[in-house]
A and B are shown apart, each in its own frame.
Chain A
């Protein structure tokens, strides 16, 4: 497999071209470029240019393509591996058809837009080409039609991509006198070239009625056309039997030609020559065939309908050579189709990768071919690497888009070797514009046990909240990040706030900390201290006192807070509660005396150190 060498594309930047350097900086989806001079100074034209690689993901028209193909992709990955290939082929063909119908739908939508805005015309023609290639790949690789069916499939393929025949036919039929329309014979010949003999016959009837004198000739042609054998894959006839029958018919047509049966009518003569497979006649109708692959299929239809897949490339090459002028250079599309006819899957993929800017097509097609186990004929390792390589490229491209990145996640999930690390790396860079978006990103990381990414995202959000003085938000993010140090810091801030203002902010959050309280000592203290305030407020003084006592003795109270705690203890010490039960009072007495002791102890400690609230 030879390396395809292409000259790199040059993008022009509106900047000086002489005597200056171009500086650059990588961004998430683009690269910034600016004029500069390394290791020098001097005035510069200080413009910074944002250069982007892929326009497609921003195209609203293609959004549907990306979304729906994502759906198909995910479905494809779930097909069970253990089923024998034989059973899976119809499924794969169906999936291939699904992809193609998505392309077609997108193309049709675009076509309507293209009528208004010409820049979309490009996209339409490229989608058309892609569908053409995919269809051929489906016929040759996925469906892998054997001799007999192969030609029928190819015929369908050509018919599908040459719709102008029907347009012209409609025009002719709608006219006053179809048989006299100037395009009439073009339509008839086009039908014949596409093997649509039934329709050709119906058209010819119209001509026959106009020329009763030549009735016998038209009858003969009609007979020949109606008797042309077409292979029936579902039938009982074997390929050999069909071949015999076809040769017999072919001989009959030839005899008519030799007999000059149609000599008096040049049109019928031409048709006769076509159906006998005369190459020169076929080539005289390049205009109607319009492509070398149409010529190929027509030629095979009328000269070798039992063509085997392995024989295709020989005919393809020769047809292309015959059809194209000596001067014309094959275009990339031609090379891709030729590679397909040669059953060189890797070459097809390679050529498509080069010709197309976006990885959508090659990524999805290669993935499907890999599932059909078609990429492993070369080398096992190689095959799966290629698939993953392309999927990673495609998904990475999606990742730079503000909403399509979510589709990319599924693609990474299905890349066993590098998917996870690529996802982990790129998901961190998603801008966390809103809490909602941050939570979305977090959920994805949490589902995949990407703990470092979870921690990092939460930390970033916590830091952002803290710098904007949104303490509650900062605290909840720190808790989610399981960042004890940061939680401590924020708890300190809360406590400082309380000192200055006398009230707590974000009561809801602190009241409902639950087990998260245990993340850091300071946080525990904060939670418990708030609890103390609640108890006090509810006049449950003995419980409040007990709590206060435990806060002091457990040593989780920060030094800076002791003064405040003592101040809080004072009213408790003076509290004269209406006695309920003696037991309660005893309890309370004990608590209060312990409080007093702690109070004294703390006072002593306070006097030996200086502390401020």
Chain B
């Protein structure tokens, strides 16, 4: 019996993880209303396909709000509705922001679509001529070419030759193309040059982070196991009832509020759900409220405080000396001044932690590696003992870190406060 349960639990976990890592599944929840971005986008693209006209549109919104996912869903649906009338070319600003690269990629994808041989040796002019010819041919055959430009703002750097040639090619009567730009910069259209912007229709779709009710809906949608799957039905029933209880619990609502207060995008919420699902105990196969609470603490890490907990005592001494120098209002100080302060502390308090200069220098370098301190100047002209440094953590953080460090001597805390 327990073996069956363990197998079922594993299957359920795999199913939930697949759902969470699949953006198409996630964003298909919000597509039903006519007001949604999905329907608007679908309408625009399908009307340009059916009416054989050119169009351009920008999808804008913060990262992790589903722009590419919704676009993929729209394209999937349209490819099913109009099978022979659409071809899709996908470009990414991270990979193809160089014009040569971009045109080559367009030519390559066009060749694959239309089963032609692609020559890697073709030059930029050959490729761009090929693209214009293909656009004309597709227009004559009443086929729409849809260009998807991911990370649109990266294409808008430099001379914008690609954007200009694409939008210019769309101006001719015989071409049928739709250019869809996706960007996380809300001012992406301001980055366009004048001549490019004039050829661009200023349609923009804004993708916003979800409201709190939407998050609740999404959690239910993802976590409730389907009753018609291969999982044993009594297990599914138990799991689902547990989930509904937890989701209605006020404490979970608090947890979700805390999560979305810091970052309310979909991707953060999905990360949280992924973490929570990974905490499922495979012996019982059920989720508990503690799963969600532990997931929140793993997502909400404080790296600098963790770093401070790891510092050795000598490193803490150096940081306290730096803080004292800052309190004394020395605008810039370097390792030599820190060593002077360190020596004065030891002369006045006779502590046991008096180490030589080379040891302190190495501990100083460790602090630089951990990025708790940083050089305040940009040049590399001087050796590290003379370059001015600054603390990258606030005094309150340092104080908190000293308290949380297990082996911190009491004298350091006293020095911090004085």
A, B in one complex: no
Residues of B within 8 A of A (CB): none
